[in-house]
Chain A
Amino acid sequence: MRVPEVLLDVRDLRICYETSRGCVKAVDGVSLEVYAGETFCLVGETGCGKSTLALAIPRLLPPNARILSGSILFKGVDLLRVSDSKLQELRGKEIAMIFQNPMTSLNPVHRVGFQVAEVPVTHFKMSWREALATAVRQLGRVGIADPDLRSRDYPHTFSGGMKQRSMIAMMTTCKPSLLIADEPTTALDVTIQAQILKLLHELKNEYGLTLLLITHNFGIVAEVCDRVGVMYAGKIVEVADVTEVFEAPLHPYTKGLIDCVVARRKSKSRLNQIPGTPPSLLNPPTGCRFHPRCAYVTHECVKEEPRLIEVRKNHLVACHNYEKVGGVSWSS
């Protein structure tokens, strides 16, 4: 088998937010490899640090965030250490990002076409005339009807789905190598969600993009991803191929999440549930952070933090007792 090329290599990243109550470690020692051309999903619940990790890549973290250690290698360049001007050049051209809320991502005072055209003007020194034509073409490509006409409209006349399409158009005009999408469909209706996911998938194949998708929805993971990283309380607890994650998850948390999805359950039957709620990152539990909610907990889990190790081919897990974790209940 051909060895895949690593496009993005995050190593031992630690990020904390300074709050008046102390340092909140949103990302705590995360290492991650994303291969060129794949769709990698980071999945986890609110506050697990997945968005922080995503924002750290193009260095778009809010001002109270501090990067404590680690590196983010993108095509061999450490993004945490390159100059601002170099980074500026990479953003949009090599690394693009779309967010959950398309309503606030577009600038309300500029026409949509102008905003899309601005990207190639900045990065390729394209003339405005040419850039506007490109913008119209790109808007058409992402599925905006009458792109010529609509490109002259302001964002508020667009629906949520169309705004997200416009964002995607804006972010893909330069054909970046990496597209980070942070919950891109969470604010949208199911039918629109399906359309947007389909669009992202098509663009990925067309442009050879690498897609880093952040989501909390296991349905979306199953629909579009090649590989999955599961995050819990600032740490990555499991990384594996998508089928492996769904058929043979090794971490109790992953298994719990997949198990409590309502699909495949007899109507009105009791769902398997993970007890409790995710911990506060101000003072996370000792040892394994999942141990207070875990059904497989042992003494070791309370004392010692498990490391993320490769236990099967291409399957990494951070759990002392992964061997005891059976498959998900519905697939057996």
Chain B
Amino acid sequence: MWFNKERIRSLESNEVLRLFLKHKRGVAGLILLSFMLFIALTADFIAPKRFDEVDPSSRLLPPSTEHIFGTDQLGRDIFSRIVYGARIALWVGLLVVVVEAGIGVPLGLIAGYYGGSVDKLISAITDMLWAFPPIILALAIVTILGPGLTNVVIAVSIVSWAPYTRVVRAKTLSIMGREFITAARAVGESSLSIMFRYVLPNTLAPIIVLATLTIPSAILYTTALSFLGFGAQPPTPDWGAMLNEGKDYIFKAPWCSIFPGLFITLTALSFNLLGDALRDVLDPKLRLG
């Protein structure tokens, strides 16, 4: 009796922050992400060198007090490149998510709201996309569009909006069964108004969770494409491109690839931890289970 719906609901909003702060892994993810954001924002101040400053006299130096992450094959300071690279990684991650959500969310809303053949068509497209190996498809798209960071963002977004459509569609379907939707129709709300005033605000929680959970894969895909040489072109300090350049010296100068790799992993990890925590906190059903 104590666990009645009302009381659980009343917990919802006030408790989100408190519950999040109790979530140790979530807090760890947030700290890690804050660190990445910090170095990205303050790159101009904390980077000892410019990211494209070539110094032929100090090529492939191991980590030392002067170059804490060592130098690469052109004598560039790896730490500085990584710090500037954080900007690219985070920006690209964010951009991809915005474009993905921009495509996926409206489609999901429309499919869930109208149902019937509209839903069948959208779901069929989503499923088809889902069945494709994403990296191959992205490769194909970049090949057509040509290399470059913008094109990589477009390619990655195109191959991975499907989860948004699925999640939003499912959530929309469940919301459409709630009585406040019928009540909205009874007072004369239009379809558009119902979709954006009543359905969308109630799908935000899963969208936020999904976004934090897809940023790491967006970062991984873009770095993978950059690693394959389709993404950022030299001398852009893209972590994936750095990995690519460093692979030739993997035995001679492993720091060239270890540090970019480490930062890719840590950034992806921070979003994953954060996303998991948000899901735990925002989804009351899981919380109770």
Task: Please indicate whether A and B come from the same complex rather than being unrelated chains.
Answer: yes
Interface residues of A (CB under 8 A from B): 17, 19-21, 24, 26, 46-52, 62
Chain B, 8-32, contact with A by CB distance < 8 Å: what is the 0/1 string?
0001000100110010000000000
State which of B1, B18, B19, B22 has its C-beta within 8 Å of the C-beta of A46: B1
Cα A147 to Cα B78 with chains together (Å): 77
Cα A48 to Cα B4 with chains together (Å): 11
Does A50 contact B1, Cβ atoms closer than 8 Å? yes
Interface of B is mostly: helix
Give the size range of B's interface with the partner: 10 to 19
State which of A19, A20, A21, A51 has its C-beta within 8 Å of the C-beta of B1: A51
Does B1 contact A49, Cβ atoms closer than 8 Å? yes
Q: With contacts defined as CB atoms under 8 Å apart, how many contacts are there between chain A and chain B in the complex? A: 28
Does B15 contact A51, Cβ atoms closer than 8 Å? no
Report chain B residues within 8 Å CB of A50.
1
Could you list some 15 contacts between A and B, CB below 8 A?
A: A20-B11, A20-B15, A20-B18, A20-B19, A21-B11, A21-B15, A26-B1, A46-B1, A46-B4, A46-B6, A47-B2, A47-B4, A49-B2, A51-B1, A51-B2
Does B22 contact A20, Cβ atoms closer than 8 Å? yes
Does B19 contact A26, Cβ atoms closer than 8 Å? no
Interface residues of B (CB under 8 A from A): 1-4, 6-7, 11, 15, 18-19, 22
A-B contacts besides A21-B15, A48-B1, A51-B1, 15 pairs, CB < 8 Å: A17-B2, A19-B11, A20-B11, A20-B19, A20-B22, A46-B4, A46-B6, A47-B1, A47-B2, A47-B4, A49-B1, A49-B2, A50-B1, A51-B2, A52-B1
Cα A21 to Cα B22 with chains together (Å): 13
Does A62 contact B4, Cβ atoms closer than 8 Å? no
| Minimum C-beta distance from A186 to chain B (A) | 11
Cα A40 to Cα B18 with chains together (Å): 42
Report chain A residues within 8 Å CB of B3.
62
Report chain B residues within 8 Å CB of A20.
11, 15, 18-19, 22
Report chain A residues within 8 Å CB of B11.
19-21
